Structure 1
């Protein structure tokens, strides 16, 4: 699914709905962070996606991480809840949405990192001091910063 993200942009379309989703800040024993390269934008992001019926929001983060990266995870805490009304995403089907994202701390418990070839074109375990080398997906910058440096969950 293609998308265009607008941040505090007067030219942005008016959001008509919200779509909840979950992401995971997965850290391994060496402290590296699991990132994906998104097929739709070519940018790097935390694994995650849209919340489906018949699952909890934490199960969404586990499922999306497994689907996009091949890595099985255990959720260990809350990074934050992200609902900025200045962020509008225009999807290729014409819907203009305000994302509602819940980001979790997680640790790997199995699997092998690999891109799914559909939503992700690459997967990497990244040292936090090397994040500047990656073109990060715009709305994940704050989530990553909160995951690495925040002491309390962000509710925004």
Structure 2
């Protein structure tokens, strides 16, 4: 699919039509671990916020294709295998972003079991990438996302093979 501008993206097109009204936002989040079990976080360009690789599904792609694309765009690495870990859709996961746009999260969290390539620390979407120990995740500039990342890690630690639905 390649990189497209935000205005060309599905969410960008929807925002043009409906303004700041709440959208249900299909997206992915990737848990990528190194051999020590540390989790990869990226520093999002322009947001000054660390987060796991994540992003929105586009028209004409599957959720798995979205995962592969977003991880590649934000880290430079190639997803070779991933397991669906959790689905978050609770209305409690509604947020308003920096632009006043409202979203109800519809997030599928994948644990990337196998990946290849070298991590790129700076991309069009990121300014850094670094592995962090599970018990020392980076603090961002937003309490919602910090809490969400902690929840994702707890779900990873308690995962038994059955998808967690919240």
Q: Give the TM-score of the pair, scaled to structure 1.
A: 0.77
3-state secondary structure, aligned to 2:83: strand
Work out which of the residue numbers 18, 21, 25 in structure 1 matches 2:27: 21
RMSD value, Cα: 2.3
For the pair 1:100 / 2:106, whether they are aligned, the reply is yes
Alignment of 1:1-156 (within 5 A): 16-92=22-98, 94-131=100-137, 134-136=138-140, 137-138=145-146, 139-151=148-160, 152-156=162-166
CA contact (8 A) 2:43 2:51 kept: yes
Q: Which runs of 4 or more aligned residues in structure 1 lie more than 4 Å from their structure 2 counterparts after TM superposition? A: none
Q: Which has the higher helix share?
A: 2
Higher relative contact order at CA 8 Å, sep ≥6: structure 1 or structure 2?
Answer: 1
**Superimposed CA distance per residue, residues 30-60 of structure 1 (whole angstroms, 9 cap, x where no aligned partner):** 3221111223542221101000122211111
Aligned residues: 142
The structure carrying a bigger strand percent of its residues is: 1
TM-score, structure 2 normalization = 0.73
Structure 2 portions without partners, runs of 5+:
1-5, 7-19
